[in-house]
Structure 1
Amino acid sequence: MAISFEKAFGLHAQGMLVRSKRAEVIASNIANADTPGYKAQGMDFKAAMTQAAKNQQMNMSRTNEKHFNTNMSMNDGVDYRVQNQPDTGDGNTVDVQVERNLYLQNSLEYQASVQFLNSKIKGLKKAITGGQ
Protein backbone atom coordinates (compact mmCIF):
# COMPACT_ATOMS: atom_id res chain seq x y z
CA MET A 1 0.00 0.00 0.00
CA ALA A 2 1.43 3.36 -1.07
CA ILE A 3 1.63 6.33 1.24
CA SER A 4 0.04 9.48 -0.13
CA PHE A 5 2.15 12.41 0.98
CA GLU A 6 -0.59 14.82 -0.07
CA LYS A 7 -2.96 13.15 2.38
CA ALA A 8 -0.33 12.83 5.08
CA PHE A 9 0.83 16.43 4.97
CA GLY A 10 -2.45 18.07 3.99
CA LEU A 11 -2.14 21.76 3.29
CA HIS A 12 0.93 22.22 5.46
CA ALA A 13 3.32 21.78 2.55
CA GLN A 14 1.37 24.36 0.55
CA GLY A 15 1.38 26.61 3.61
CA MET A 16 5.16 26.53 3.66
CA LEU A 17 5.28 27.55 0.00
CA VAL A 18 2.87 30.42 0.65
CA ARG A 19 4.88 31.56 3.69
CA SER A 20 8.07 31.38 1.62
CA LYS A 21 6.51 33.59 -1.07
CA ARG A 22 5.25 35.95 1.65
CA ALA A 23 8.80 36.22 3.05
CA GLU A 24 10.04 37.19 -0.43
CA VAL A 25 7.40 39.93 -0.72
CA ILE A 26 8.23 41.35 2.71
CA ALA A 27 11.98 41.19 2.04
CA SER A 28 11.41 43.04 -1.22
CA ASN A 29 9.54 45.74 0.67
CA ILE A 30 12.39 46.11 3.16
CA ALA A 31 14.98 46.20 0.37
CA ASN A 32 13.05 48.97 -1.39
CA ALA A 33 12.35 51.07 1.69
CA ASP A 34 14.47 53.93 0.31
CA THR A 35 13.34 53.62 -3.32
CA PRO A 36 11.33 56.69 -4.32
CA GLY A 37 7.85 55.82 -5.56
CA TYR A 38 7.98 52.19 -4.39
CA LYS A 39 4.61 50.90 -3.19
CA ALA A 40 4.67 48.32 -0.40
CA GLN A 41 3.13 44.99 -1.31
CA GLY A 42 1.40 42.49 0.90
CA MET A 43 0.08 38.99 0.66
CA ASP A 44 -3.26 37.76 1.94
CA PHE A 45 -2.23 34.44 3.52
CA LYS A 46 -5.80 33.30 4.10
CA ALA A 47 -6.79 33.90 0.48
CA ALA A 48 -3.65 32.13 -0.78
CA MET A 49 -4.34 29.11 1.44
CA THR A 50 -7.99 29.01 0.31
CA GLN A 51 -6.75 28.93 -3.28
CA ALA A 52 -4.26 26.18 -2.37
CA ALA A 53 -7.07 24.13 -0.81
CA LYS A 54 -9.14 24.48 -3.97
CA ASN A 55 -6.15 23.44 -6.06
CA GLN A 56 -5.58 20.40 -3.85
CA GLN A 57 -9.21 19.33 -4.24
CA MET A 58 -9.01 19.82 -8.01
CA ASN A 59 -5.67 18.01 -8.26
CA MET A 60 -6.17 15.16 -10.66
CA SER A 61 -3.32 13.00 -11.85
CA ARG A 62 -2.60 12.66 -15.55
CA THR A 63 -2.16 9.09 -16.67
CA ASN A 64 -1.19 10.08 -20.19
CA GLU A 65 0.72 13.10 -21.49
CA LYS A 66 -2.12 13.75 -23.98
CA HIS A 67 -4.60 14.40 -21.17
CA PHE A 68 -5.43 17.98 -20.25
CA ASN A 69 -3.59 19.37 -17.27
CA THR A 70 -6.31 20.11 -14.72
CA ASN A 71 -3.97 21.55 -12.09
CA MET A 72 -4.63 25.25 -11.70
CA SER A 73 -1.77 27.59 -10.93
CA MET A 74 -1.95 29.09 -7.46
CA ASN A 75 -2.82 32.76 -7.42
CA ASP A 76 0.02 34.25 -5.42
CA GLY A 77 -2.26 36.79 -3.70
CA VAL A 78 0.31 39.59 -3.86
CA ASP A 79 -1.27 43.03 -3.93
CA TYR A 80 -0.39 46.57 -2.89
CA ARG A 81 -0.75 47.20 0.82
CA VAL A 82 -2.90 49.99 2.20
CA GLN A 83 -0.66 52.80 3.37
CA ASN A 84 -0.66 53.31 7.15
CA GLN A 85 1.74 56.22 7.40
CA PRO A 86 1.69 59.72 5.90
CA ASP A 87 3.48 60.21 2.60
CA THR A 88 7.09 61.26 3.15
CA GLY A 89 7.15 63.17 -0.12
CA ASP A 90 8.88 60.59 -2.29
CA GLY A 91 5.82 58.35 -2.85
CA ASN A 92 7.30 55.38 -0.99
CA THR A 93 4.75 53.56 1.21
CA VAL A 94 7.08 51.15 3.04
CA ASP A 95 7.06 51.33 6.85
CA VAL A 96 10.25 49.46 7.79
CA GLN A 97 9.13 48.73 11.37
CA VAL A 98 5.89 47.16 10.17
CA GLU A 99 7.76 45.12 7.55
CA ARG A 100 10.27 43.85 10.10
CA ASN A 101 7.48 42.79 12.44
CA LEU A 102 5.63 41.05 9.61
CA TYR A 103 8.85 39.29 8.57
CA LEU A 104 9.47 38.08 12.12
CA GLN A 105 5.88 36.83 12.47
CA ASN A 106 6.07 35.05 9.12
CA SER A 107 9.41 33.50 10.08
CA LEU A 108 8.00 32.14 13.35
CA GLU A 109 4.97 30.70 11.55
CA TYR A 110 7.24 29.12 8.93
CA GLN A 111 9.36 27.50 11.66
CA ALA A 112 6.20 26.16 13.32
CA SER A 113 5.19 24.60 10.00
CA VAL A 114 8.65 23.05 9.63
CA GLN A 115 8.43 21.53 13.11
CA PHE A 116 4.93 20.20 12.41
CA LEU A 117 6.02 18.59 9.13
CA ASN A 118 9.10 17.13 10.85
CA SER A 119 6.88 15.46 13.43
CA LYS A 120 4.63 14.12 10.65
CA ILE A 121 7.66 12.71 8.82
CA LYS A 122 8.96 11.10 12.02
CA GLY A 123 5.53 9.51 12.53
CA LEU A 124 5.48 8.17 8.97
CA LYS A 125 9.03 6.88 9.34
CA LYS A 126 8.08 5.14 12.57
CA ALA A 127 5.05 3.57 10.86
CA ILE A 128 7.22 2.32 7.99
CA THR A 129 10.09 0.96 10.10
CA GLY A 130 7.90 -0.32 12.90
CA GLY A 131 9.40 1.96 15.55
CA GLN A 132 13.02 0.91 15.05
Structure 2
Amino acid sequence: MSSKSVENTLSLIQRGMDATIRRGKLIASNVAHSETPNYKAVDLDFEQVLAAVKGENQVVLARTHRTHLEDSFLEARFPVRYRLESEGEVRADGNTVSLEEELAKSAQNQIRFQALTQAINRIFANLREAITEGGRR
Protein backbone atom coordinates (compact mmCIF):
# COMPACT_ATOMS: atom_id res chain seq x y z
CA MET A 1 0.00 0.00 0.00
CA SER A 2 1.50 3.34 -1.03
CA SER A 3 1.93 6.15 1.47
CA LYS A 4 -0.69 8.22 -0.40
CA SER A 5 -3.12 5.31 -0.24
CA VAL A 6 -2.51 4.91 3.51
CA GLU A 7 -2.96 8.65 3.99
CA ASN A 8 -6.25 8.65 2.03
CA THR A 9 -7.53 5.62 3.93
CA LEU A 10 -6.65 7.15 7.30
CA SER A 11 -8.36 10.38 6.27
CA LEU A 12 -11.56 8.54 5.33
CA ILE A 13 -11.51 6.59 8.58
CA GLN A 14 -10.97 9.81 10.53
CA ARG A 15 -13.96 11.42 8.82
CA GLY A 16 -16.05 8.36 9.59
CA MET A 17 -15.01 8.50 13.24
CA ASP A 18 -15.77 12.23 13.36
CA ALA A 19 -19.24 11.55 11.93
CA THR A 20 -19.95 8.80 14.47
CA ILE A 21 -18.81 11.07 17.32
CA ARG A 22 -21.09 13.83 16.03
CA ARG A 23 -23.98 11.41 15.65
CA GLY A 24 -23.43 10.09 19.18
CA LYS A 25 -23.73 13.62 20.55
CA LEU A 26 -26.94 14.20 18.62
CA ILE A 27 -28.42 10.92 19.85
CA ALA A 28 -27.50 11.81 23.44
CA SER A 29 -29.12 15.20 23.00
CA ASN A 30 -32.29 13.58 21.65
CA VAL A 31 -32.46 11.22 24.64
CA ALA A 32 -31.82 14.09 27.06
CA HIS A 33 -34.69 16.05 25.48
CA SER A 34 -37.11 13.14 25.24
CA GLU A 35 -39.50 14.87 27.65
CA THR A 36 -39.08 18.42 26.30
CA PRO A 37 -42.30 19.69 24.69
CA ASN A 38 -41.98 20.54 20.97
CA TYR A 39 -38.40 19.21 20.78
CA LYS A 40 -37.63 17.88 17.31
CA ALA A 41 -35.23 14.94 17.15
CA VAL A 42 -32.08 15.52 15.11
CA ASP A 43 -29.76 13.20 13.24
CA LEU A 44 -27.05 13.31 10.61
CA ASP A 45 -28.04 13.25 6.96
CA PHE A 46 -25.66 10.51 5.83
CA GLU A 47 -26.24 11.20 2.14
CA GLN A 48 -24.85 14.69 2.68
CA VAL A 49 -22.02 13.32 4.83
CA LEU A 50 -21.04 10.87 2.08
CA ALA A 51 -21.23 13.59 -0.56
CA ALA A 52 -19.05 15.86 1.59
CA VAL A 53 -16.50 13.10 2.13
CA LYS A 54 -16.35 12.55 -1.62
CA GLY A 55 -15.75 16.29 -2.04
CA GLU A 56 -18.90 16.75 -4.09
CA ASN A 57 -20.66 19.08 -1.72
CA GLN A 58 -19.99 21.81 0.80
CA VAL A 59 -22.02 20.96 3.90
CA VAL A 60 -23.56 23.62 6.10
CA LEU A 61 -24.96 23.08 9.56
CA ALA A 62 -28.60 24.03 9.96
CA ARG A 63 -29.42 25.78 13.23
CA THR A 64 -32.65 27.41 14.28
CA HIS A 65 -31.25 29.16 17.35
CA ARG A 66 -27.70 29.98 18.41
CA THR A 67 -28.04 28.10 21.72
CA HIS A 68 -29.60 24.89 20.36
CA LEU A 69 -26.30 23.30 19.41
CA GLU A 70 -22.82 24.04 20.66
CA ASP A 71 -20.30 25.48 18.21
CA SER A 72 -17.72 22.89 17.36
CA PHE A 73 -15.57 21.60 14.57
CA LEU A 74 -17.73 18.50 14.15
CA GLU A 75 -20.93 20.50 13.77
CA ALA A 76 -19.44 22.51 10.96
CA ARG A 77 -18.44 19.36 9.08
CA PHE A 78 -21.56 17.24 9.42
CA PRO A 79 -25.11 18.35 8.61
CA VAL A 80 -27.93 18.06 11.10
CA ARG A 81 -31.26 16.82 9.89
CA TYR A 82 -34.40 17.52 11.91
CA ARG A 83 -36.95 14.73 11.97
CA LEU A 84 -40.11 15.97 10.35
CA GLU A 85 -43.48 15.23 11.88
CA SER A 86 -44.43 13.11 8.86
CA GLU A 87 -41.37 10.87 9.37
CA GLY A 88 -42.34 9.32 12.65
CA GLU A 89 -44.41 9.46 15.75
CA VAL A 90 -45.22 12.88 17.17
CA ARG A 91 -46.52 12.97 20.70
CA ALA A 92 -49.31 15.28 21.81
CA ASP A 93 -46.69 17.69 23.22
CA GLY A 94 -45.02 17.98 19.78
CA ASN A 95 -41.90 16.03 20.74
CA THR A 96 -40.59 13.71 17.99
CA VAL A 97 -38.08 11.69 20.06
CA SER A 98 -38.61 7.92 20.16
CA LEU A 99 -36.42 6.46 22.91
CA GLU A 100 -36.49 3.01 21.31
CA GLU A 101 -35.33 4.45 17.99
CA GLU A 102 -32.60 6.53 19.64
CA LEU A 103 -31.28 3.52 21.58
CA ALA A 104 -31.19 1.46 18.38
CA LYS A 105 -29.32 4.28 16.60
CA SER A 106 -26.90 4.50 19.51
CA ALA A 107 -26.11 0.77 19.29
CA GLN A 108 -25.64 1.02 15.52
CA ASN A 109 -23.40 4.06 15.96
CA GLN A 110 -21.25 2.27 18.56
CA ILE A 111 -20.81 -0.71 16.23
CA ARG A 112 -19.81 1.61 13.39
CA PHE A 113 -17.25 3.36 15.61
CA GLN A 114 -15.80 0.02 16.76
CA ALA A 115 -15.47 -1.14 13.14
CA LEU A 116 -13.63 2.06 12.23
CA THR A 117 -11.37 1.67 15.27
CA GLN A 118 -10.55 -1.90 14.23
CA ALA A 119 -9.80 -0.75 10.68
CA ILE A 120 -7.37 1.91 11.85
CA ASN A 121 -5.73 -0.55 14.25
CA ARG A 122 -5.18 -3.00 11.36
CA ILE A 123 -3.57 -0.28 9.26
CA PHE A 124 -1.18 0.66 12.05
CA ALA A 125 -0.39 -3.01 12.76
CA ASN A 126 0.47 -3.50 9.09
CA LEU A 127 2.63 -0.37 9.09
CA ARG A 128 4.38 -1.52 12.27
CA GLU A 129 5.07 -4.91 10.71
CA ALA A 130 6.38 -3.34 7.51
CA ILE A 131 8.74 -1.13 9.49
CA THR A 132 10.05 -3.83 11.82
CA GLU A 133 10.05 -6.80 9.44
CA GLY A 134 10.54 -5.07 6.08
CA GLY A 135 14.32 -5.42 5.93
CA ARG A 136 14.36 -9.04 7.14
CA ARG A 137 12.86 -10.62 4.05
TM-score by length of 2: 0.72
Alignment partner for residue 104 of structure 1, among 103, 107, 111?
107
Relative to structure 2, which stretch is displaced further, 4-13 or 93-102?
4-13
Question: SS of 2:36's equivalent?
Answer: coil
Q: How far off its partner does 1:26 sit?
A: 0.9
> Unpaired runs of 5+ in structure 2?
57-74
Aligned to 1:62: none
Aligned to 1:22: 23
> Is the CA contact (8 Å cut-off) linking 1:51 and 1:74 kept in structure 2?
no
Aligned to 2:12: 11
Q: How far off its partner does 1:10 sit?
A: 4.4
Of Structure 1 and Structure 2, the greater helix share is in 2
Structure-2 change in CA distance of 1:26 and 1:105 (3 Å):
same
The 2-side partners of 1:22 and 1:107 are apart by 10
> Is the CA contact (8 Å cut-off) linking 1:11 and 1:53 kept in structure 2?
no
Give the % identical residues.
33
Question: What amino acid sits opposite 1:45 in the alignment?
Answer: F
Aligned to 2:78: 76
The 1-side partners of 2:9 and 2:132 are apart by 17
Aligned CA RMSD, in angstroms, stands at: 2.4
The 1-side partners of 2:77 and 2:124 are apart by 28
Query: Aligned residue pairs: how many?
Result: 113
> Unpaired runs of 5+ in structure 1?
56-72
Question: What amino acid sits opposite 1:126 in the alignment?
Answer: E
The 2-side partners of 1:39 and 1:21 are apart by 17
Confirm whether residue 89 of structure 1 aligns to residue 99 of structure 2: no
> Is the CA contact (8 Å cut-off) linking 1:37 and 1:90 kept in structure 2?
yes
TM-score by length of 1: 0.74
Aligned to 2:51: 50
